[in-house]
Chain A
Amino acid sequence: MGRSVGGPILEVEGISLSFGGVVALQAVSLDVREHEIRAIIGPNGAGKSSLLNVINGFYHPQKGSVSFKGRKRRRVDPHEVAQQGIARTFQNIALFRGMTALDNLMTGRTLKMKSNFLHQAVYWGAARREELEHRAKVEEIIDFLEIQHIRRTPVGQLPYGLQKRVELGRALAAEPDLLLLDEPMAGMNIEEKQDMCRFVLDVNDQFGTTIVLIEHDMSVVMDLSDRVAVLDYGRKIADGTPDEVRHHRAVIDAYLGVAH
């Protein structure tokens, strides 16, 4: 079921990233194929979020390159990356807490808004038409994520699981080709995890979005992903299907520890 996996949409080659003396990533290379669900796992501090931040444009690696949709990109800013079609969620939720769920989702459409500030302030003609189009698109996402009942609730008042769902919605509002999810299941109970898994699968199936997710819950990783990359101390130590990775010696050692 689902769309068939295509060629590589993202290629990360030889990425090395350091913060002063701290080496976050060392010569990490991996690729992500179109329409697949790719998991990145590893013990805490392995560099997973750093890798996502590099892909995103937050961090600029000292060495290595990132190619998206076949084009190697020069040093880019996050908003340029977003414009190219990559959206993400954050480990600790970065929603606008005072705004409603609906407004948060609308902010996800920012990069697609064409009319200028003055036009929007007066709100007539083309600006109004555009707003209605964006609202319609956001309503479809609200329907998809089943969050109609909290449409007008300030996000700060929502339970954790729903906040994560709203953040997913904001990322989807940008209509990305590649979606980066940083620990989407963190802090959730079983029911919330099942719901989030279903949405991730639906996003992949219905919209064809390629998904890269960082996750600690092994059962989620095994069930959802097509391929898994394992990082440890900034290096990639394994890459393959969930089954291959599960039985890989280096992976087991990394998680369970080895006597030095």
Chain B
Amino acid sequence: MQEASTDTFPRLLLKQARTRPDRPAIREKDLGIWQTWTWAQVAEEIRSLACGLAAQGFRRGDRLGIVGDNRPRLYWSMMAAQCLGGVPVPLYQDAVAGEMAFVLQDAEIEFAIAEDQEQVDKLLEVLPQWPRLRHIYFDDPRGLRHYLQTELMSLDSLQAIGRDFAGRNPEFLPLEIDKVQPSDVAVILYTSGTTGHPKGVSQTHSAMIHTARVLVAFDGIAEGDDLLCYLPMAWVGDFLYSYAQVHVAGFCLNCPESPDTVMTDLREIGPTYFFAPPRIYENILTQVMIRIEDAGWLKRRMFHAFMGVAKRVGMKILEGRRAPALDRLLYRLGETFVYGPLKNVLGLSRIRVAYTGGEAIGPDLFDFYRSIGINLKQLYGMTETCVTVCMQPSGDVKLDTVGPPMPGVEVRIAGSGEVLVRSPGVMKEYYNRPDATREAVDAEGFFHTGDAGYFDADGHLKIIDRAKDVGRLADGTLFAPKYLENKLKFFPYIREAVCFGDRRDKVCAFVNIDMAAVGNWAEKRNLPYSGYADLAGKAEVRELVRECVEKVNRDLAQDATLGNSQIRRFLVLHKELDADDGELTRTRKVRRRFIGEKYESLVNALYSAEARCHVETQMRFEDGRTGTVSADLEVVDAKTFDVAAARKAA
């Protein structure tokens, strides 16, 4: 059996099984211990799965639905489908039956692999709407003893059928693998669309493998690396960083015991490569801070003292820049007493590369990890481009950017400010949606991301907002409300912010304080308050918020493009913005236009010279009754900074 090239996943698998048959390929924690499978064993398992599927009628081009937590047999099923020239379609394990129904119908899925009873139940619920789903194979038999549906079969049984089939037709699978072309679709990943229905992004073997090769070269990923697969299999990142990378570089994947045990499993594995969205890094930090506050006096003193050292010099040391000798010594002591044990407990001791992306990360969070020696970097991309658009190389990491374009990726900024991407990783199409595909990928092959951004002086891309939300001030300055709101929300005292400024002469903002943080702050200063509205109305609180706003303004002044969008006036709202009142979406996104209309009197006050404003609004109580709330709010002027002067000083 010959291998013309290794540009398809099945051929990569065969190569790994041939060149490193006894090295670990994948582990799963089961019954309390880590069970390991070597590449040779993995190849054997996939063989029986693929032959079983073929024996059951799976044909070239068929789609295989896969739903469940990260489990070895689910990953093997993806490969099994690809070996037969089929296309795996992973679904989100927490999707409800209705969402699953859409994907099953859209991708016309007749074969599905389900992890356990929960997923099987959901598929069975969908069956009446999509009767073409004729085969459901399950991994974990628990709870399924009494299920009599003819569509159901265990993966154990499927593999037994497969072994039998392979025995009788030994040449079948190698021939099928040979037929797979790099230009064939390797996977269909559905993007969770915010508007309309999700779309199935079709990516080819060559797009994914090429991208994986670029990534492996970029970060020097090799056979000794370990990665914990805990992010959903339906997400492009898991397919790329776990599945694709492991077949290119031959390291080992590790599947946690259950979603609840991820943090302990992280500690046991100590991965060398890690990706998480900012909120997971935030959760980890919060856990650390809570436990530190509960620790004994000595530990707390040591922690705060050495974290001070880390803040001073940690990042310099990580990036190999000069730092005073005394500080270096202190940092090394800190490593022994604080940072080292801390990283160990979190499972981050062996991290060579840690990435984050998907949304903006707060400066304190970013600095914390980097200062204790974790090489945390940012990246930018989406499903339609095999993620990889911009990534920060080790040694060229900045807080506010997503990094320079990756090798082979062209990034262009359209006149509207929209980011356009052309690369080998751009999708083949949206499955069965030629209209949407034409809209997204233009005649020159550039994918329209829908994000607005620009390149800074160092060649790093800065993403500021969704393109459709970005506006311009009356003087033409870029106005990116979400960018400004995020900067405000990074302060613990500010829970929510709404910025106005499109086609206006200046930027003004509403601010919601965070009750817990500001309440705490007030108590420490012996400031009595009787509730949210009372606290929000205090002059001292306005001062506190003003300090935050001015810090943001100082930051903005450093940036030539955004310098003029500093916040000049703001007010502190008397009530929290709430989804029940229609002011936020259910996912806590601000509904700017609605808020602008509802609080029109306040917006007018901001843009006039008035110092005070009266407001009366309707609000809905939790039991559904409505009531009126009224308040007198003071408008505060914030100091702004000269853009040119700030740049000179910096």
Taking Cβ atoms with an 8 Å cutoff, the residues of A that contact B are 1, 102, 135-136, 139-140, 142-144, 146, 148-149, 151-152, 202, 205-206
A144–B258 Cα distance when bound, in Å, is 13
A1–B148 Cα distance when bound, in Å, is 12
Q: Is B146 an interface residue (CB 8 A)?
A: yes
Q: Is B324 an interface residue (CB 8 A)?
A: no
Q: Is B32 an interface residue (CB 8 A)?
A: yes
Chain A residues within 8 Å of B31, by CB: 136, 139-140, 142-143
Residue of B nearest to A102 (CB): B32
Residue of B nearest to A143 (CB): B31
| Chain A binding surface SS class | helix
Residue of B nearest to A202 (CB): B143
Query: Which one of A1, A139, A202, A206 lies within 8 Å of B32 (CB-CB)?
Result: A139
Chain B residues within 8 Å of A144, by CB: 142
Residue of B nearest to A205 (CB): B145
**A135-B32, A143-B31 as given contacts; A148 in contact with B145, CB under 8 Å:** no
Chain A residues within 8 Å of B32, by CB: 102, 135, 139, 142, 148, 151
| Chain B binding surface SS class | loop
Q: Is B171 an interface residue (CB 8 A)?
A: no
A202–B264 Cα distance when bound, in Å, is 28
Residue of B nearest to A152 (CB): B264
Q: In the complex, are the beta carbons of A148 and B143 less than 8 A apart?
A: no
Q: Is B444 an interface residue (CB 8 A)?
A: no
Q: In the complex, are the beta carbons of A149 and B145 less than 8 A apart?
A: no
Q: In the complex, are the beta carbons of A148 and B146 less than 8 A apart?
A: no
Q: Which residues 103-146 in B have Cβ within 8 Å of A in the complex?
A: 142-143, 145-146
Chain A residues within 8 Å of B258, by CB: 146, 148-149
Q: Is B622 an interface residue (CB 8 A)?
A: no
Q: In the complex, are the beta carbons of A149 and B261 less than 8 A apart?
A: yes
Q: Is B597 an interface residue (CB 8 A)?
A: no
Q: Is B257 an interface residue (CB 8 A)?
A: yes
Q: In the complex, are the beta carbons of A1 and B143 less than 8 A apart?
A: no
Interface pairs A-B: 4 shortest CB-CB: A139-B31, A149-B260, A139-B32, A149-B261
A149–B263 Cα distance when bound, in Å, is 9
Q: How far is the CB of B155 from chain A (nearest CB, A)?
A: 17
Chain A residues within 8 Å of B264, by CB: 149, 152
C-beta contact mask, B245-268 vs A, less than 8 Å → 1, else 0?
000000000000110110010000
Q: How far is the CB of B529 from chain A (nearest CB, A)?
A: 33
Further 17 A-B residue pairs, CB within 8 A, beyond A1-B146, A148-B260, A206-B145: A102-B32, A135-B32, A136-B31, A139-B31, A140-B31, A142-B31, A142-B32, A143-B30, A143-B31, A144-B142, A146-B258, A148-B32, A149-B258, A149-B260, A151-B32, A152-B264, A202-B143
Chain A residues within 8 Å of B143, by CB: 202
Chain B residues within 8 Å of A143, by CB: 30-31
7 CB < 8 A contacts A-B: A135-B32, A142-B31, A148-B260, A148-B261, A149-B260, A202-B143, A206-B145
Q: How far is the CB of A104 from chain B (nearest CB, A)?
A: 15
Chain A residues within 8 Å of B261, by CB: 148-149
Considering residues B32, B142, B145, B264, which has the most beta carbons from chain A within 10 angstroms of its beta carbon?
B32
Q: Which residues 133-171 in B have Cβ within 8 Å of A in the complex?
A: 142-143, 145-146
A140–B261 Cα distance when bound, in Å, is 16
A82–B238 Cα distance when bound, in Å, is 49
A206–B141 Cα distance when bound, in Å, is 12
A102–B257 Cα distance when bound, in Å, is 16
Residue of A nearest to B257 (CB): A148
A205–B147 Cα distance when bound, in Å, is 13
A22–B145 Cα distance when bound, in Å, is 49
A139–B33 Cα distance when bound, in Å, is 9
Residue of A nearest to B146 (CB): A1
Chain B residues within 8 Å of A1, by CB: 146
Chain A residues within 8 Å of B142, by CB: 144
Residue of B nearest to A149 (CB): B260
A102–B142 Cα distance when bound, in Å, is 22
Q: How far is the CB of A35 from chain B (nearest CB, A)?
A: 15
Chain A residues within 8 Å of B257, by CB: 148-149
Q: Which residues 2-48 in B have Cβ within 8 Å of A in the complex?
A: 30-33
Chain B residues within 8 Å of A135, by CB: 32
Chain B residues within 8 Å of A152, by CB: 264
Chain A residues within 8 Å of B145, by CB: 205-206
Q: How far is the CB of A66 from chain B (nearest CB, A)?
A: 33
A135–B32 Cα distance when bound, in Å, is 9
Residue of A nearest to B30 (CB): A143
Chain A residues within 8 Å of B260, by CB: 148-149
Chain B residues within 8 Å of A139, by CB: 31-33
Q: Which residues 253-307 in B have Cβ within 8 Å of A in the complex?
A: 257-258, 260-261, 264
Q: How far is the CB of B231 from chain A (nearest CB, A)?
A: 18
Chain A residues within 8 Å of B30, by CB: 143
Residue of A nearest to B140 (CB): A143
Chain B residues within 8 Å of A205, by CB: 145
A139–B257 Cα distance when bound, in Å, is 12
Chain B residues within 8 Å of A136, by CB: 31
A240–B633 Cα distance when bound, in Å, is 70
Residue of A nearest to B32 (CB): A139
Residue of A nearest to B256 (CB): A148
Residue of A nearest to B260 (CB): A149
A142–B29 Cα distance when bound, in Å, is 13
A136–B257 Cα distance when bound, in Å, is 15
A148–B30 Cα distance when bound, in Å, is 10
Residue of A nearest to B258 (CB): A148
A148–B143 Cα distance when bound, in Å, is 18
Q: How far is the CB of A89 from chain B (nearest CB, A)?
A: 22
Q: How far is the CB of B35 from chain A (nearest CB, A)?
A: 12
Residue of A nearest to B31 (CB): A139
Q: How far is the CB of B487 from chain A (nearest CB, A)?
A: 37
Residue of B nearest to A150 (CB): B260
Chain A residues within 8 Å of B33, by CB: 139
Residue of A nearest to B262 (CB): A149
Q: How far is the CB of B121 from chain A (nearest CB, A)?
A: 13
Q: How far is the CB of A2 from chain B (nearest CB, A)?
A: 9
A205–B144 Cα distance when bound, in Å, is 11
Chain B residues within 8 Å of A102, by CB: 32
Q: How far is the CB of B56 from chain A (nearest CB, A)?
A: 28
C-beta contact mask, B304-317 vs A, less than 8 Å → 1, else 0?
00000000000000
Q: How far is the CB of A106 from chain B (nearest CB, A)?
A: 12
A106–B390 Cα distance when bound, in Å, is 52
A113–B609 Cα distance when bound, in Å, is 84
A138–B142 Cα distance when bound, in Å, is 17
Q: How far is the CB of B454 from chain A (nearest CB, A)?
A: 45
Residue of B nearest to A2 (CB): B146
Residue of B nearest to A146 (CB): B258
Q: Which residues 585-638 in B have Cβ within 8 Å of A in the complex?
A: none
A102–B264 Cα distance when bound, in Å, is 15
Residue of B nearest to A139 (CB): B31
A146–B258 Cα distance when bound, in Å, is 9
Chain B residues within 8 Å of A142, by CB: 31-32
A205–B146 Cα distance when bound, in Å, is 10
Considering residues B31, B145, B260, B261, which has the most beta carbons from chain A within 10 angstroms of its beta carbon?
B31
A142–B261 Cα distance when bound, in Å, is 13
Chain B residues within 8 Å of A149, by CB: 257-258, 260-261, 264
Residue of A nearest to B29 (CB): A148
Chain B residues within 8 Å of A202, by CB: 143
Considering residues A140, A149, A151, A152, which has the most beta carbons from chain B within 10 angstroms of its beta carbon?
A149
Residue of A nearest to B263 (CB): A149
A140–B31 Cα distance when bound, in Å, is 6
Chain B residues within 8 Å of A140, by CB: 31
A139–B142 Cα distance when bound, in Å, is 15
Q: How far is the CB of B390 from chain A (nearest CB, A)?
A: 37
A136–B258 Cα distance when bound, in Å, is 18
Residue of B nearest to A138 (CB): B32
A143–B141 Cα distance when bound, in Å, is 13
Q: How far is the CB of B17 from chain A (nearest CB, A)?
A: 30
Q: How far is the CB of B3 from chain A (nearest CB, A)?
A: 40
Q: How far is the CB of A150 from chain B (nearest CB, A)?
A: 9
A250–B208 Cα distance when bound, in Å, is 73
Chain B residues within 8 Å of A151, by CB: 32
